[in-house]
Amino acid sequence: MITDTTPATKGRGSTPSGFRPEIQALRAAAVIAVVVYHIWPTRLRGGYVGVDVFFVISGYLITGHLWRELSQSSTIRLGQFWARRARRLLPASLLVLAVTGIATFLWAPQARWGQFFQELLASALYVENWRLASDSVDYLAAENAASPVQHYWTLSLEEQFYVIWPLMMLAAVGIGRWRARGRPRARTAVVTLLGTTAIASFVYCLWLTSVSPAAYFSTPARMWQFALGGLVALLIPAGVRAARWATICRLVGWAMLLVSVYLFTEATSFPGYAALLPTLGAVAIIVGGTTTSGLGDSFYGRLISLRPVQYVGAISYSTYLWHWPLVVMLPPLLGIGRPFALNVGLLSASLVLGALTKTFVEDPCRRAKFLVEAPAVRTLTLTLGGMAVVVAVAGAGIVETDRQEEASNELVGAYLESSACLGALAIAGPDAPCSDPALDGRILPALAAVSDDTGQAYWCYDTDPSADIESCTYGSSTPTARRVALVGDSHAAMLLPALYDHLAVLDWSVDTYVARGCMWRSAPPTADDACSERQRALQARLMSGGYDLVLLTARRNPDLSTAEIDSLAVSYAAAWEPLTAAGVEVVPVIDNPTVTTSDLDCVILASSPDAAAACSVPMSEALGPDPLQIASRLTDGNVEAIDLSSIYCDERCPMVIGNVAVYRDEHHITATFARTLGPILVRELSARTGR
Q: Give per-residue pLDDT as tens, 261-292.
A: 999 998 999 999 999 999 999 999 999 875 44
Say yes or no to pLDDT of 240 above 70.
Answer: no
DSSP string, 363-385: HHHHH-HHHHTS-HHHHHHHHHH
Confidence of residue 636 (pLDDT cuts 50, 70, 90): confident
DSSP H/E element including 483: strand 482-488
* Per-residue pLDDT reduced to its tens digit, 599-608: 888 888 776 7
Query: What DSSP state is assigned to residue 359?
Result: I
* Per-residue pLDDT reduced to its tens digit, 338-367: 899 999 999 999 999 999 999 999 999 999
Distance CA 210, CA 272 (A): 8
The pLDDT assigned to 347 comes to 97
Q: What is the dihedral of CA 618, 620, 622, 625, to 10 degrees?
A: 170
The pLDDT assigned to 628 comes to 94
Distance CA 638, CA 586 (A): 8
The pLDDT assigned to 414 comes to 86
Query: What DSSP state is assigned to residue 684?
Result: H
Contact (CB, 8 A) for 640 and 549: no
Q: How, if at all, do strands 585-588 and 616-618 pair?
A: unpaired
Distance CA 33, CA 261 (A): 7
* Per-residue pLDDT reduced to its tens digit, 419-436: 888 989 988 878 778 888
The pLDDT assigned to 297 comes to 54
DSSP string, 185-222: HHHHHHHHHHHHHHHHHHHHHHHHHHH-GGGGG-STTT
Say yes or no to pLDDT of 10 above 50.
Answer: no
Say yes or no to pLDDT of 691 above 90.
Answer: no
* Per-residue pLDDT reduced to its tens digit, 67-112: 999 888 888 999 999 999 999 999 999 999 999 999 999 998 888 8
The pLDDT assigned to 142 comes to 55
Instruction: Report the pLDDT averaged over residues 532-551.
Output: 89
Contact (CB, 8 A) for 190 and 67: yes
The pLDDT assigned to 1 comes to 47
Distance of CA 597 to the CA centre of its chain: 15
The pLDDT assigned to 535 comes to 84
Give the gyration radius of the chain's Cα atoms.
Answer: 30
Confidence of residue 8 (pLDDT cuts 50, 70, 90): very low
DSSP H/E element including 628: helix 627-632
More confidently predicted of 19 and 39: 39
Instruction: Report the pLDDT averaged over residues 582-599.
Output: 91
The pLDDT assigned to 218 comes to 96
Confidence of residue 181 (pLDDT cuts 50, 70, 90): low
* Per-residue pLDDT reduced to its tens digit, 363-392: 999 999 999 989 999 999 999 999 999 999
Confidence of residue 460 (pLDDT cuts 50, 70, 90): confident
Contact (CB, 8 A) for 309 and 25: yes
The pLDDT assigned to 203 comes to 98
Distance CA 314, CA 676 (A): 57
* Per-residue pLDDT reduced to its tens digit, 641-690: 999 999 999 889 999 999 999 999 889 999 999 999 999 999 999 887 76
Structural domain boundaries of the chain?
A: 21-398, 456-594+625-644+673-689
Residue percentage of the chain with pLDDT more than 70:
91
Distance of CA 373 to the CA centre of its chain: 41
Say yes or no to pLDDT of 9 above 50.
Answer: no
Minimum mean pLDDT among 100-109, 309-318, 332-341, 565-574: which range?
A: 332-341
Best CA proximity match to 467, nearest among 531, 398, 512, 405: 531
Say yes or no to pLDDT of 295 above 70.
Answer: no
The mean predicted confidence, pLDDT, of the chain is 88
Confidence of residue 457 (pLDDT cuts 50, 70, 90): confident
Say yes or no to pLDDT of 137 above 60.
Answer: no
More confidently predicted of 597 and 4: 597
More confidently predicted of 523 and 117: 117
Instruction: Report the pLDDT averaged over residues 514-533.
Output: 78
Instruction: Report the pLDDT averaged over residues 140-161.
Output: 86
Q: 220-223: long-range contacts at Cβ-Cβ below 8 A with a sequence spacing of 24 or more?
A: 221/271, 222/55, 222/157, 222/271, 223/161, 223/197, 223/198
Confidence of residue 210 (pLDDT cuts 50, 70, 90): very high
Minimum mean pLDDT among 32-41, 304-313, 427-436, 476-485: which range?
A: 427-436
The pLDDT assigned to 444 comes to 87
Contact (CB, 8 A) for 320 and 31: yes
Q: What is the CATH number of domain 456-594+625-644+673-689?
A: 3.40.50
pTM of the model: 0.86
Distance CA 173, CA 188 (A): 9
Residue percentage of the chain with pLDDT more than 90:
59
The pLDDT assigned to 138 comes to 53
The pLDDT assigned to 584 comes to 92
Say yes or no to pLDDT of 464 above 60.
Answer: yes
